[in-house]
């Protein structure tokens, strides 16, 4: 007789054990020759060495499935734990355009033509610029691509950053220290991550800085190796700030820069670094520019109409000034 202990390294073991240990009991029925004792994240196996080895091999495949899809079912357990010829190559995604499986098995995918261009482009290029109006999914798609790269172990950390430019509001009146003042401003990045990662896993990543969310000014002097870095709201970065961020790129890294050139909140005497970057970097191999438009808007249908109305108003205002 042999004994061994397996640690279940997932945030919510109950997802694997099932409500009322439903899935766990199913697994025990499949392996009647083993005594299986579960204490939270630890599974103790007692039985013949060969049977323990067979269980461990099958259980590893079950964890692979869970990591990919965020859930298991009775049919999945039967297929993986019973079939002798089952291996990880049979774990296929029926939805080929899914980027990741988020919280509670939520499918996160590129939804519009230009979001899909972002996905294809980042596979071929190390740096892409995604430029377009509000609601086109620039940031959300970029974060999904970063999380996918982390899950696939293509990179070791994610860096999310924004320039700390006030959009008509004053940070100085907010309570707390600088982090407290800036966290609400960085909230859209947190929101995207919460859709894609279990709460405890996200907290763990933030604590050990596998995922780092920081103002753009904090990037100065750093070299970002083995990282997926996203600069959001890049239209509000100055020319010097954009240059500083782009030159942080280290080995085995991917950069996505997102921005909306119709919503620049910089003071009038400062030029947007995003405008300069799209002018002087457009012909560099390895850098791609993706332009999203109103057809890519995935928010409420009124958002597209609002953007059209403002664009029409701006055009009429410019015509009046020219007269």
Span 119-127, average pLDDT: 95
Lowest model confidence (mean pLDDT) among 78-87, 112-121, 139-148: 78-87
- Kindly tell me if the per-residue pLDDT of 218 is higher than 80: yes
Q: What is the pLDDT of residue 300?
A: 67
Where does the pLDDT of residue 307 fall: very low under 50, low under 70, confident under 90, or very high at 90 and above? confident
Q: Is 162 helix (H, G, I), strand (E, B) or coil?
A: strand
- Kindly tell me if the per-residue pLDDT of 87 is higher than 70: no
pTM over the 0.75 mark: no
Residue 214 in contact with residue 163, Cβ under 8 Å?
A: no
Q: What percent of the chain has pLDDT over 90?
A: 41
Q: What is the pLDDT of residue 177?
A: 56
Lowest model confidence (mean pLDDT) among 27-36, 176-185, 245-254: 176-185
Residue 26 has a CB neighbour count (10 Å cut-off) of: 16
Q: What is the pLDDT of residue 239?
A: 93
Q: What is the pLDDT of residue 167?
A: 42
Q: What is the pLDDT of residue 317?
A: 78
CA 41 to chain centre: 26
Where does the pLDDT of residue 251 fall: very low under 50, low under 70, confident under 90, or very high at 90 and above? very high
- Kindly tell me if the per-residue pLDDT of 312 is higher than 60: yes
- Kindly tell me if the per-residue pLDDT of 94 is higher than 50: no
- Kindly tell me if the per-residue pLDDT of 308 is higher than 70: yes
Instruction: Count Cα neighbours of 87 within 13 Å in the Cβ-side half-sphere.
Output: 2
List domains and CATH numbers for the chain. Answer: 2-90 (3.30.1370.10), 98-322 (3.40.50.300)
Which position has the token pair 């740096």?
Answer: 127
| Pairing state between β 227-231 and 254-259 | parallel
> The dihedral of CA 78, 81, 86, 90: what is its sign?
positive
Q: What angle do CA 246, 252, 257 make, to 5 degrees?
A: 30
Q: What is the pLDDT of residue 16?
A: 84
Mean pLDDT for the chain? 84
As a whole number of angstroms, the distance between CA 154 and CA 251 comes to 12
Q: What is the pLDDT of residue 245?
A: 95
């Amino acid at each position: 007789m042999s004994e061994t202990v397996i640690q279940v390294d997932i945030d919510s073991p109950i997802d694997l054990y099932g409500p009322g240990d439903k899935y766990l009991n199913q697994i025990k029925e499949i392996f009647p020759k083993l005594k299986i004792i579960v204490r939270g994240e630890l599974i103790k196996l007692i039985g013949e060495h060969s049977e323990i080895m067979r269980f461990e091999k099958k259980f590893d495949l079950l964890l692979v499935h869970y990591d990919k899809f965020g859930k298991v079912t009775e049919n999945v357990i039967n297929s993986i734990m019973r079939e002798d010829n089952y291996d990880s190559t049979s774990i296929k995604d029926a939805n080929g355009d899914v980027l990741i499986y988020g919280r509670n098995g939520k499918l996160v995918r590129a939804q519009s033509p230009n979001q899909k261009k972002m996905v294809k482009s980042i596979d071929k290029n190390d740096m892409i610029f995604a430029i377009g109006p509000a609601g086109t999914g620039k940031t959300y798609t970029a974060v999904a691509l970063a999380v996918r790269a982390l899950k696939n172990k293509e990179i070791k950390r994610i860096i999310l950053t924004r320039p700390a430019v006030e959009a008509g509001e004053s940070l100085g009146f907010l309570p707390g220290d600088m982090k407290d003042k800036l966290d609400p401003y960085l909230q859209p990045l947190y929101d995207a991550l919460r859709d894609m990662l279990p709460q405890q896993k996200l907290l763990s990543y933030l604590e050990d800085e596998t995922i780092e969310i920081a103002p753009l000014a904090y990037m100065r002097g750093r070299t970002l190796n083995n990282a997926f870095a996203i600069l959001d709201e890049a239209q509000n970065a100055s020319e010097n700030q954009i240059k500083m961020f782009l030159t942080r790129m280290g080995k085995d890294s991917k950069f996505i820069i997102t921005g909306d050139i119709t919503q620049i909140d910089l003071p009038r005497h400062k030029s947007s670094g995003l405008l300069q970057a799209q002018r002087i970097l457009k012909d560099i191999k390895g850098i791609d520019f993706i332009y999203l438009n109103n057809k890519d808007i995935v928010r409420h249908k009124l958002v597209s109409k609002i953007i059209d109305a403002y664009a029409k108003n701006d055009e009429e205002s410019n015509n009046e000034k020219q007269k």
